[in-house]
Amino acid sequence: MYFRFHKEISASLIILFLLVIFFYFIYKPLFLIFIILLIFTFYFFRDPERVIPLGEDILVSPADGLITNITEFKEGKKNYTKVSIFLSVFNVHIQRLPVSGEIKKIDYIEGKFINATLDKASEDNERLRLTLKLGSNNIYVTQIAGLIARRIICHLKVNEKVNQGDRYGIIKFGSRVDIEFPTSYSLMVNVGQQCIGGETIIAKELKNNKNIQSREYKKI
């Protein structure tokens, strides 16, 4: 079986491996603890392949996790829906792009590290917000730090063309991801639902009052 891990695992593995060797000769109880931490690090940084449903009319989940909040707000002249996905330490922590388009803006905002399940975390916590342009619509995806998460990583650049379902970043050790989209997209999920990044369809847009049924998929 083929296993893939995020490149951020490298530094953690080196440190933990050296500690495992050191405490093997010095103190066996700590050796066992660091063996467990080493195994958990492999588990945390796992990067499984996903089967991505493709289409401009759908938004796929940017993250694995539990939907904790769904709210509506106004951005300029448009009404938007916000879906908040909470990632526990047991979820895959790699983020994926909800739709193909162009990165118009990347905003990093310093902030607090309160519980990411609280709705006010969207405004108070440290976060990184992408503005993704798709036709006349802006789609916003925000990586939010939490109580444990202290490092947000994003590999994208402004004006970069991106593809639906591609990996774009990671938040270390618990966190939250918000996706915000115009209310012209019909919501396909509910609070309390578990999402799979790149696979779960968060919302679907109706074009010319016709629901597009046929769809292509890619495995990445």
Assess if residue 119 is contained within a domain. yes
Share of the chain above pLDDT 90, in %: 54
Whether 219 has a pLDDT exceeding 80, the answer reads yes
Q: For 45-71, what is each residue's pLDDT tens digit?
A: 889 999 999 998 999 999 999 999 999
Residues 195 and 121 grouped into a single domain: yes
Whether 6 has a pLDDT exceeding 80, the answer reads no
Q: For 87-110, what is each residue's pLDDT tens digit?
A: 988 899 899 999 999 999 999 998
Q: How many residues make up the chain in this entry?
A: 220
Residues 34 and 65 grouped into a single domain: no
CATH number of domain containing 205: 2.70.70
Compute the distance between CA of residue 169 and CA of residue 54 in angstroms, rounded to an integer: 20
Residues 65 and 114 grouped into a single domain: yes
Residues 60 and 117 grouped into a single domain: yes
pLDDT value, residue 200: 98
Residues 67 and 21 grouped into a single domain: no
Assess if residue 171 is contained within a domain. yes
Whether 3 has a pLDDT exceeding 70, the answer reads no
pLDDT value, residue 1: 43
Assess if residue 4 is contained within a domain. no
Residues 123 and 58 grouped into a single domain: yes
* Domain of 69, in residue numbers: 51-219
Whether 210 has a pLDDT exceeding 90, the answer reads no
DSSP result, 66-119: EEEEEEEEEETTEEEEEEEEEE-TTS--EEE-SS-EEEEEEEEE--B---TTST
Mean pLDDT score, 111-121: 75
Residues with a known catalytic role = 175
Contact call for residues 103 and 132 (beta carbons, < 8 A): yes
Q: What is the mean pLDDT of the chain?
A: 87
Please, which pLDDT band fits residue 193 given cuts at 50, 70 and 90? very high
Name which residue leads in pLDDT, 208 or 163: 163
Please, which pLDDT band fits residue 23 given cuts at 50, 70 and 90? confident
Whether 8 has a pLDDT exceeding 80, the answer reads no
What number of H helices and E strands is found in the chain?
3, 16
